[in-house]
Amino acid sequence: MAKKSSSPPVAAMVLGVGSFAHSIGTAIADAGANVSTYLTRSYGHFSPTLVGETYSRDAFPSPLPLIRKNKIDVVIPQSIDWATQPWADDLMKSGVGIFSPTSGAMRIERERDFARELCVRFKIPFPKSFIASNRLEAEKILAAHPQPFVIKNPLCSPTSPVHTILCETVADTRAWLRQVNYAEGVFLQEYLGRAEAGHIVLISGGEIHSLVTNQEYKYAFNGNMGIVAGAPLGGLVERDEQDKYGLARELIHPLQPWLRESKFNGPLQVTAIKRNGRWHVIEYNIRIGVTSGPMILRMLKNPVDVVLRTARNQKLKPEFRRQLNFGCSLTLAGYGYPFTQVRGPQLPLEVDGKFDCDVWWNEVGGGSDGNLMATGQRIADVNALAPGLAAALAKAYANIRKIRVVGSYFRTDVGQSLWPPGAV
Ligand SMILES: Nc1ncnc2c1ncn2[C@@H]1O[C@H](COP(=O)(O)OP(=O)(O)O)[C@@H](O)[C@H]1O
Ligand SMILES: [Mg+2]
């Protein structure tokens, strides 16, 4: 093997903003990569500057010239919407590694009904689901199938007109069907209860590598109360190469023929709910995600190599650092969260003491006086890793308590429900 010092560092470009770019960028920069960020959204521009160069869409309508000039080896997209940008074809043709599946392989996340069809084809349990293009059709479906449905966007995108709405009764469903935006239609998925868990793998070189089993605390308030917002308030990951809960075996490995057909390489996450003793797929994602992704990269000994080899569809050997079996992520939410219509002013953010775990700034800006300001409703993600769950939780809580923003809050009960997988 060539000596590390003789080969130039891997050049990586994050396509994203906020805590995603801050965390993923830092994790791979700390492991030796050269990191820059192409800012794909209008907020969260400050924290990526703490990692490396940043480039705005206004100044650079396409990242391609930057990718060529800076000899980027791999890009790491935050969400799937890169594929609908005018420069997506050029990106795929450029030969740069993309840490995401591309083309037809993206349909497993992008099109909810396609994921359902795949599950039918491979006999993977999936809740009863329907597509409706308007309110009349949706109400007909509900009349023919009088049961609670979760209302979702049929086509996934961070800018969808519909965000997942949980309905627990038929009457809840009927009420929400009067309110939702039908511009892209709705996907109605049978409500399966609360016994949820997730599992994340990397697919590369024709093999499936289990990484972690995870949980996301998606209800906005303690006790799993309130609404399910766009992003969770907390998350757990457990190192799980052996797939001890069977989620990969039951819900990902059966897809192998399609993974080959579609030339899938990249991350794949399944979110599932256990009902009547069986896991059912509610969604697949093709990203390591904002909540689990940074903790996964920190758990690996060789995150740069793993990301690069996955992007190139080469054989992988993810190696885990010893003694980091659990991770806990806590989100500090700001004024008005989870109701995105509510707006507050920019507010001072104070840190009392020194952090001894990762803290990733999301909607945070640097004031001219060098002080930090909270600029939106999702302020920061605090990530702690430890040999055991209790230690990871304790460390994350000790650190989030050092941050003060007026009107902000976090859940104090992460880890107390929904774990181990299958528990409610
Ligand atoms: N069929 C379902 N039954 C019960 N809860 C569901 C169902 N579908 C989604 N949920 C809940 O809503 C959350 C978000 O739904 P998901 O399908 O993952 O969409 P997205 O992540 O795109 O918002 C899930 O993590 C789960 O907590
Ligand atoms: Mg989801």
Name the residue of 169, 273, 279, 424 whose CB sits within 8 Å of the most ligand 1 atoms, as the mutation to test its pocket: 273
CA 283 / ligand 2 centre spacing (Å): 6
Query: Is 296 in a helix, a strand, or coil?
Result: helix
CA 9 / ligand 2 centre spacing (Å): 34
Ligand approaching nearest to the C-alpha of 156: 1
Above 70 in pLDDT, residue 48?
yes
Name the residue of 169, 227, 283, 285 whose CB sits within 8 Å of the most ligand 1 atoms, as the mutation to test its pocket: 283
Q: Is the dihedral of CA 307, 312, 313, 315 positive or negative?
A: negative
Closest CA to ligand 1's atom 14? 164
The predicted pLDDT at position 3 comes to 47
Residue 81 and residue 93: Cα distance in Å, rounded? 17
Q: Is 111 exposed, middle or buried (0-12, 13-18, 19+ CB in 10 A)?
A: middle
Half-sphere exposure of 201 (CA within 13 A, CB side): 26
Residue 245 and residue 281: Cα distance in Å, rounded? 14
| Torsion region of 5: left, alpha or beta (phi above 0 gives left; psi -120 to 50 gives alpha) | alpha
- Type of residue at 422: G
Side-by-side strand order, sheet with 186-190? 129-132, 186-190, 149-152
Chain centroid, CA 198 distance in Å: 11
Ligand approaching nearest to the C-alpha of 197: 1
The predicted pLDDT at position 369 comes to 81
Above 60 in pLDDT, residue 365?
yes
Confidence of residue 1 (pLDDT cuts 50, 70, 90): very low
Residue 275 and residue 146: Cα distance in Å, rounded? 19
The predicted pLDDT at position 5 comes to 58
Pocket of ligand 1 (CB under 6 A): 127, 150, 152, 156, 164, 166, 189-192, 196, 218, 228, 271, 273, 282-283
pLDDT tens per residue across span 211-265: 999 999 999 999 999 999 889 999 999 999 999 999 999 999 999 999 999 999 9
CA 174 / ligand 1 centre spacing (Å): 18
CA 225 / ligand 1 centre spacing (Å): 15
Above 90 in pLDDT, residue 39?
yes
8 secondary structure, DSSP code: P
User: Could you tell me the domains of the chain?
Assistant: 8-98 (3.40.50.20), 128-190 (3.30.1490.20), 326-404 (3.90.600.10)
Question: Average of pLDDT values for 36-48?
Answer: 97
Residue 116 and residue 129: Cα distance in Å, rounded? 8
Backbone angles phi, psi at 320, to 5 degrees: -95, 145
Q: Are 211 and 401 in contact (CB under 8 A)?
A: no
Above 70 in pLDDT, residue 359?
yes
The predicted pLDDT at position 230 comes to 84
Q: Are 318 and 212 in contact (CB under 8 A)?
A: no
Ligand approaching nearest to the C-alpha of 164: 1
Question: Average of pLDDT values for 39-53?
Answer: 97
CA 83 / ligand 1 centre spacing (Å): 23
Residue 309 and residue 349: Cα distance in Å, rounded? 39
Q: What is the mean pLDDT of the chain?
A: 96
pLDDT tens per residue across span 187-219: 999 999 999 999 999 999 999 999 999 999 999
pLDDT tens per residue across span 3-19: 455 689 999 999 999 99
The predicted pLDDT at position 2 comes to 45
Q: Are 246 and 279 in contact (CB under 8 A)?
A: yes
CA 6 / ligand 2 centre spacing (Å): 42
What does the block give as tokens for 153? 């966007």
Ligand approaching nearest to the C-alpha of 229: 1
Question: Average of pLDDT values for 97-125?
Answer: 98
Confidence of residue 367 (pLDDT cuts 50, 70, 90): confident
